[in-house]
Amino acid sequence: MAKPHPSWGLAGPETPASPRTMRTLRKIQSHQVLTTSNALIAQTQSRPSPARTHDSNSTDSPGGPTRTLTHRRARSNSDAAAREAALTAPIPHHRRPARKTGSGIGVKRSLLENLLRDGPQNGKTQEGLQELKYLVLSTKVDADGDGMSPYRIYLWLVLLNIPPVPTDDYLTLVHRGGSPAYTKIRNDTFRTLATDPLFKRRVTEASLIRLLNAVAWKLHDSKPKSRSRPTSSRRREMELLVNTPPSIAEEPGSSDSAIYVQGMNVLCAPFLYAARSEVEAFALFHYFVTQECPGYIRGALDGVHKGLRLVDRCLEIVEPKLAAYLASKSLTAELYAFASVLTLSACTPPLPEVLHLWDFLFAYGPHLNILCIVAQLVRIRDTIFQSDSPGRVLRSFPPLEAKGIIAMAVSFIPENPGRSLRRDD
């Protein structure tokens, strides 16, 4: 919209408006009508405008009728030139008919979105999945400045092979009220990505509580029930040890550590941010912590500690000088990379770049987060060497730049032994 004229709103009973001022005001009003509404066309009458009858090349829209006048007070001749210019001006680009897309952003759909919407050709699922993964790596998910995409959440569901979850199943878990881990959940949710305005604007603490509590109930229900007949305490302990699956094993003395551990709130946050509903986020998050990274929800966080050891090992391979320097300062991954391993780098802003990184991790395996962390270290290598206090540098990583991190992480893969990059590590 044109900038308001300096005299806008200053003319009054004591300051008569000049003809030039009034012409300027009419030009601004005409521009506003043309650029903010199509109502002008609906209000027109059949009598053609004198200014338009001499311009045979001007139309309201491609293939549309000649513009006509509305019922209004006739303007003075001193305003004729400005009026003709306003009516014959081309329609601004954002008002032109846009190509219809699933994204709704007026651009042609990408190959990635087309493949996701149309599915693989000839029903070749495996070939289509490989092509989908390649497109994730070679292109980028279409998203706005906030990282929001209309199809990203469906891409994640396809890549992780997660079937739809009935909404009633999720609501049933929500309506059960507080789980045994409810207090711990409430102690963590209020500080989840507390300094990220994008997350705070889109995701409420209430939705985060509901989702984590529903997952806690789901994990609680999956735990084996103790037998009704009385048994000795020793025999009961042995039964639990034998029958409890490793993914939900408990630490002694912690009754709810297997259904919620600190850090799950941050790991859950990007799912809620990207999802179009809580049910989608619930399906993704529950599958992720039980199937992809079950060690992350054990009481001792076994999977996280294994990941930290892998960070040290991979860094020794791809950047031995940096690894030796950090070791000489007693700076192991346990001290600086714990949050990055636990949350798949979701603890490092900005959130749109986290989502871009997760597109890659879900396509090729969350275990590659280890190499992505190593890539972040290599990118700040010079800063670490030059700092008098490298531990302070490592206390918070620089803002994520997913494209560069992914490219560097992929370049590391041939240098690392395959046994160090298994998904179950």
Considering the domain delimited by 300-425, tell me its CATH architecture. Answer: Orthogonal Bundle (1.10)
Q: Where do we find the tokens 């292109």? A: 139
DSSP 102: S
Tens digits of residue pLDDT in 210-233: 999 999 999 999 887 654 444 445
In what helix (H) or strand (E) does residue 313 lie, and over which residues does it extend? helix 302-318
Separation between Cα atoms, residue 38 and residue 64, nearest integer Å: 13
pLDDT at 383 over 90: yes
Of the pLDDT bands very low, low, confident and very high (cuts 50, 70, 90), residue 17 is low
**Is the pLDDT higher at 401 or at 85?**
401
pLDDT single digits (tens) 61-102: 444 444 444 444 444 444 444 444 444 444 444 444 433 444
Average confidence score pLDDT of the chain: 76
- Whether the pLDDT of residue 162 is over 90: the answer is yes
Residue partners of 233: CB distance under 8 A and separation at least 6: none
Return the domain boundaries, the chain: 102-139, 149-299, 300-425
pLDDT for 110? 86
Nearest to 49 by CA among 11, 79, 83, 24: 83
Q: Can the peptide bond before residue 245 be classed as cis, meaning omega within 30 degrees of 0? A: no
pLDDT at 33 over 90: no
Identify whether the C-beta of residue 67 lies closer than 8 Å to the C-beta of residue 51: no
Tens digit of pLDDT for each residue in 324-362?
999 999 999 999 999 999 999 999 999 999 999 999 999
pLDDT of residue 26: 52
- Exposed/middle/buried for residue 213 (C-beta within 10 Å: 0-12, 13-18, 19+): buried
